[in-house]
Amino acid sequence: MPCDPIIEFDRTLQSLVKDMADTMYDAPGIGLAAIQINVHKRVIVMDVSGSGNQLQVFVNPEIIDLNQGTREVEEGCLSVPGFFVPVKRPEKVLIKAQDIQGNHFELEADEMTAVCIQHEVDHLDGKVFVDYLSRMKRERIRNKLIKAQAEPVACVA
């Protein structure tokens, strides 16, 4: 479901971002949208550095397609664990967002930053990468996830 914009740039937002960053690094992932920890707010954290020391925070992000062609990348998702599917997205985008203090900024993104930010903003709009698949493929993933949930988890005594 769509998420609400952030109005208050206060301590609550700062602790939300801290929780999201901890969750992302722990997963590990390179991006996380607040809705993935059940907070329906328009906040994204990302770190595509590979060394886990370049956290980026996007509050109330908007994405503008720079029409520089599209690119297909195998995407995974922490909310759909274990599945990787190719998704075609615009290669270069302009991101308009606010930082944790509420200052407006713009960032031109390509490569993994562009893939990840579009994947995360989709989450904020209630969209998940399997929505780009055919109904048949999506049903197959859904059935596998339901089956996996039904199976007893091997308990380590």
Active site residue 74: no
Is 120 a binder of ligand K2U (CB under 6 A)?
A: yes
Residue whose CB is less far from ligand K2U, 42 or 123: 123
Q: CA torsion 30→31→36→40, rounded to 10°?
A: 160
Give me 121's structure tokens: 């903003």
Site string for Zn ion, 42-81 (x = CB under 5 A): -----------------------------------x----
Cα–Cα distance for residue pair 112/121, rounded to 1 Å: 14
Q: Cβ-count burial of 120 within 10 angstroms (0-12 exposed, 13-18 middle, 19+ buried)?
A: buried
Binding partner at 75 among ligand K2U, Zn ion, none, C-beta below 5 to 8 Å by kind: ligand K2U
Residues that bind ligand K2U (CB under 6 A): 29-33, 75-79, 115-116, 119-120, 123
